[in-house]
Amino acid sequence: MKHVVKILSLLVAVSAFWIVLLQAAIVPQSHTWLLPIYFVVSLGCYGLLMVGIGIMQFPTCPQEAVLLNHDIAEAKDFFLSTNGIDIGTY
Rounded mean pLDDT, 55-84: 83
pLDDT tier for residue 89 given thresholds of 50, 70 and 90: low
The percent of the chain in helix, strand and coil, each rounded to the nearest 5, is: 80, 0, 20
Per-residue confidence band for 70, with pLDDT thresholds at 50, 70 and 90: very high
What is the Cβ-side half-sphere exposure of residue 25, based on CA atoms within 13 angstroms? 0
Taking phi over 0 as left and psi of -120 to 50 as alpha, with beta for the rest, 39 belongs to: alpha
13-67: pLDDT as tens digits? 888 887 787 777 776 777 777 777 887 888 889 889 988 888 888 777 788 888 9
Burial class (CB in 10 A: 0-12, 13-18, 19+), 13: exposed
Give the predicted TM-score (pTM) of the model: 0.45
